[in-house]
């Protein structure tokens, strides 16, 4: 069970003056249960890439296999794919529409054709999982605060229990606590259900803290693909393509350059703390 992208290219406005190759021969294998971060500067192809994962965009060249089936087969049920690969777009709260939060979250599972009882159960479970208090279930989504709206919108996708959950910058515009809460919630659900999570982010610190594997996009191609500590070893190349390493990784390099015997692999505050304490012989 996996998602395989085989040599995918995507060309926008083919044949006219604005022709642009947004993806250029991308091959990836995404295994069940992975927690992946996708990073890249604006225009690097991240959003184009994720829109291929549930068939919203069709590759100009190449094939995509989901659980062993070619999604471009003419018999393939793209509707089913979209149930399995749930997409949370940027600012998903702009898509809230129903009279109450609860009804809004029911929309997805009901569309999946589940019996009404299951729809209700799914909505409860999803709202509980995103940490939205019960007192908000019957209010209009438009009366919620920014962070609460974001949770409600994510619940709408989580309620469909997608095997793969794709989130495009789910914390943009949230304050630090809101940011941590949303990402903690996503990580907890990942632990609980073992679903595949693909997180597009502009925050190197967030990606380093949460994901197991980072895919770096640049100019429509995969530039790096690996564990955070391995990817962030290439901090100089990352800077050249408009990205960076987490602040603490730079600190470790500075320490090393100043002659301290430290490893530069730390990408989170905890890892950096442990490394520095070890160096000072206090552990």
Partner 1 sequence: MSFIEAKDLVHEYIMRDEEGNVEGVQVALDHLDLNVEQGQFIAVLGHNGSGKSTFAKHLNALLMPSEGTLYVGGMDVSDENLTYDIRQTAGMVFQNPDNQIIASVVQEDVGFGPENIGTPTEEIWERVEKSLRAVGMWAYREHSPNRLSGGQKQRVAIAGVMAMEPKCIILDEPTAMLDPDGRKEVLAAVHELNKTKGVTIILITHYMEEVVDADYVYVMDKGKVVMEGNPTGIFSQVETLKEHHLDVPQITMLAHELKQEGLPLRDGILTREELIQEIDRICH
Of the ranges 100-108, 117-125, 171-179, 217-225, which one interacts with partner 1 (CB under 8 A)? 171-179
Which of residues 145, 188, 194, 278 is near partner 1 by CB under 8 A? Answer: 145
Question: Among 103, 67, 97, 95, which residue's Cα sits nearest to residue 83?
Answer: 67
Query: Applying CB under 8 A, which of residues 204, 207, 217, 231 lies at the interface with partner 1?
Result: 204
* Interaction mask 264-283, partner 1, x per CB under 8 A: -----xx-xx--xx--x-x-
29 forms bridges with which residues in the sheet? 4
* Distance (Å, whole) CA 269 – CA 169: 22
Q: Which of 178, 219, 221, 237 binds partner 1 (CB under 8 A)?
A: 178
What's the half-sphere exposure (Cβ side, CA atoms, 13 Å) at 160?
27
Contact residue for partner 1 among 13, 177, 192, 261 (CB under 8 A): 177
Strands annotated E in 146-211: 164-168, 196-200
62 or 178: whose CB is closer to partner 1?
178
Q: CA 39, 198, 124: angle at the middle one, nearest 5?
A: 140
CA distance 126 to 152: 9
Which residues have a Cβ under 8 Å from the Cβ of 52 and sit 6 or more positions away?
A: 5, 8, 10, 23, 58, 59, 64
Candidate residues 11, 56, 139, 174; the one interacting with partner 1 per rule CB under 8 A:
174
Q: Would you say 42 or 75 has its CB closer to partner 1?
A: 42
**Partner residues linked to 115 by β-bridges:** none
* x-marked contacts with partner 1 along 11-50 as a string, rule CB under 8 A: -----------------------------xxxx-------
- Which is nearer to partner 1, 34 or 205 (by Cβ)? 205
Pairing status of strand 196-200 against strand 35-39:
parallel
Using CB under 8 A, pick the residue from 94, 118, 133, 146 that binds partner 1: 146
| Residue-level length of the chain | 283
Stretch that binds partner 1, among 58-66, 108-116, 154-162, 255-263 (CB under 8 A): 255-263
Q: Is 251 in the site for partner 1 (CB under 8 A)?
A: yes
For 166, residues 6+ apart whose C-beta sits below 8 A from its C-beta are 50, 53, 54, 85, 86, 87, 88, 198, 200
CB-based contacts of 270, cutoff 8 Å, min separation 6:
none
From candidates 116, 173, 188, 263, binder to partner 1 by CB under 8 A? 173
Q: Tell me which of 61, 254, 263, 278 binds partner 1, using CB under 8 A.
A: 254
Measured from the CB atom, is 80 or 270 closer to partner 1? 270
| Interacting residues with partner 1 (CB under 8 A) | 40-43, 145-147, 172-180, 202, 204-205, 242-244, 246-248, 250-251, 254-255, 258, 260, 269-270, 272-273, 276-277, 280, 282
């Amino acid at each position: 069970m996996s998602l395989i992208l085989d040599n995918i290219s995507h060309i926008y406005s083919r044949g006219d003056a604005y022709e642009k190759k947004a993806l250029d021969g991308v091959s990836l294998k995404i295994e069940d249960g992975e927690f992946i971060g996708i990073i890249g500067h604006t225009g690097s192809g991240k959003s184009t890439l994720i829109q291929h994962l549930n068939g919203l965009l069709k590759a100009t060249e190449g094939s995509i296999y989901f659980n062993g089936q070619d999604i471009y087969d003419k018999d393939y049920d793209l509707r089913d794919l979209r149930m399995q690969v749930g997409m949370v777009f940027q600012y998903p709260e702009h898509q809230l529409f129903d009279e109450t939060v609860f009804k809004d979250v029911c929309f997805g599972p009901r569309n999946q054709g589940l019996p009404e009882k299951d729809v209700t159960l799914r909505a409860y479970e999803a709202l509980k999982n995103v940490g939205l208090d019960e007192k908000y279930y019957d209010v209009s989504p438009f009366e919620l605060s920014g962070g609460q709206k974001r949770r409600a919108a994510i619940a709408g996708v989580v309620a469909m229990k997608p095997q793969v959950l794709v989130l495009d910058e789910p914390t943009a515009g949230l304050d630090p606590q809101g940011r941590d809460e949303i990402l903690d919630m996503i990580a907890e659900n990942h632990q609980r259900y073992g679903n595949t999570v693909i997180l597009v982010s502009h925050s190197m610190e967030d990606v380093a803290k949460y994901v197991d594997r980072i895919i770096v996009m640049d100019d429509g191609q995969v530039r790096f693909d690996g564990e955070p500590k391995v990817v962030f070893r290439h901090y100089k190349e990352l800077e050249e393509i408009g990205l960076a390493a987490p602040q603490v990784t730079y600190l470790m390099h500075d320490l090393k350059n100043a002659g301290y015997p430290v490893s530069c692999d730390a990408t989170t505050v905890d890892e950096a703390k442990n490394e520095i304490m070890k160096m000072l012989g206090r552990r």
